[in-house]
Amino acid sequence: MGLLNFLKRIEPDKKKSPFLHTLYDGFFTFAYAPDSVTKEGVHVRDGMDLKRTMVMVVLAMQLCYVFGTYNIGHQHFVAAGQYLGFLEGFHLKLTHGLIKLLPIFLWTHIIGLGIEFWFAAKKGHAIEEGFLVSGALIPLIMPPDIPIWILCVSVAFAVILGKEAFGGTGMNIWNVALLARVFVFFAYPTTISGDEVWVSGFESMASGAVAEYGWAHGLFDKLFSWMDIDVFPAAAAVVDGYSGATPLALAYQGGWENVTATFSESQMFWGSIPGSIGETSKPLILIGAAILLATGIASWRIMLSMFIGAAIMGMMLNGWGATPFMTVPWQYQFYMGSFFFAMAFMATDPVTAASTNTGKWIYGLLIGMIGMLIRVINPAYPEGWMLAILFLNTFAPLIDHYVLEGNMKRRMKASAAAVSSHSVHSENEVTHA
């Protein structure tokens, strides 16, 4: 209680120092739970419980962060032909992953929260907590070697034009994290195309390209030398024959056989493959999805219908079989790419998804079908969940509108039929009387 009373005493004046008050309010409401919270609903525009809901989503992603950090380092050393066992060179892989991930995480929050703080101060209201989730998602869906300046521009674009322009948290019509990724995709396509960008620490993936270690690696080298363990190898370079291609790129080039010639099913399932930072490990993503379902934050209807839609479209494309990618057995489509991450953390965003129960089934089914179609058909970018989710974000209000219209028409018909039946019954009673 002493700390609480102290914080209340130092509260800045809202009129004299709006920006300082905004910062204070953000810290205070993050640190202390309110006396009462809203009990029902997962997306209520109510400052009493929304921060805690957002924190639970962030916690569900933490296993993806841990694995993704380590996998950054693992893929780096695989490209160099060193420490090929997953747990070999553990300290070097984890350190390299942290060195690459921390700047991405920090700059995402510096830019995103800085913009939100500025808008909150200008509007004279509390900091909106929506960026807690967006700020956690953005690093996980980016390549590990994305240039920081491109990351900063994409975050600013997504927060300003995708969120604040619509009124802030709860008002945006598109998923903010996906807007940041789609901005990079369209503005700087070679940065996120999947050709040579999924392995960090090399200027290029050409054979013989030397590893680029910076001052942070040097600091850890001193620590590792003192501990008498391996340091970062000065002569590390990309080995001959290493492509750095993702399973999706390999599938487009030569089908499932081409994929399994490079990656085993076990590698793809557990996630020890090149890819976006947090999207590769399927079991850890599914654990996060289970947490969201158990806490009632995410909709099981959207998850299940999205899976069904992707499976149906996968079977249809198998029947067509016009390209190598179409011949990939539909069940193996789930081993590759970011389907489960998109299903668990992107499609279920309660702000941008359909809100009616029937609408959620339609919304998820269409994302699954359209996303799989884009993934397999599109030669420029062999993955479709980003575009499919943003497309259905746009139509989610329309889906809900027609679902509600249909419900009202059915109820009106039922009501009219009940009134008619009651009138006939009354007339029969009068006649018999």
- 245 contacts 195 by C-beta, under 8 angstroms: yes
Reduced to 3 states (helix: H, G, I; strand: E, B; else coil), residue 172 is coil
Asked whether residue 223 carries a pLDDT value surpassing 80, the answer given is yes
What six digits make up the tokens of 169?
């948290």
Question: Would you place residue 419 in the very low, low, confident or very high pLDDT band (cuts 50, 70, 90)?
Answer: confident
For the chain, how many residues are written?
433
Distance CA 348, CA 289 (A): 10
Q: What confidence tens digit (pLDDT) does each residue in 271-307 have?
A: 999 989 999 999 999 999 999 999 989 999 999 999 9
Q: How far apart are CA 297 and CA 415, in angstroms?
A: 35
Count of CB atoms within 10 A of residue 327's CB? 17
pLDDT-derived band at 45, boundaries 50, 70, 90: very low
pTM: 0.86
pLDDT tens digits for range 46-64: 444 566 678 889 999 999 9
**Rounded Cα–Cα distance for residues 238 and 194 (Å):** 17
CA distance 365 to 388: 11
pLDDT for position 34: 57
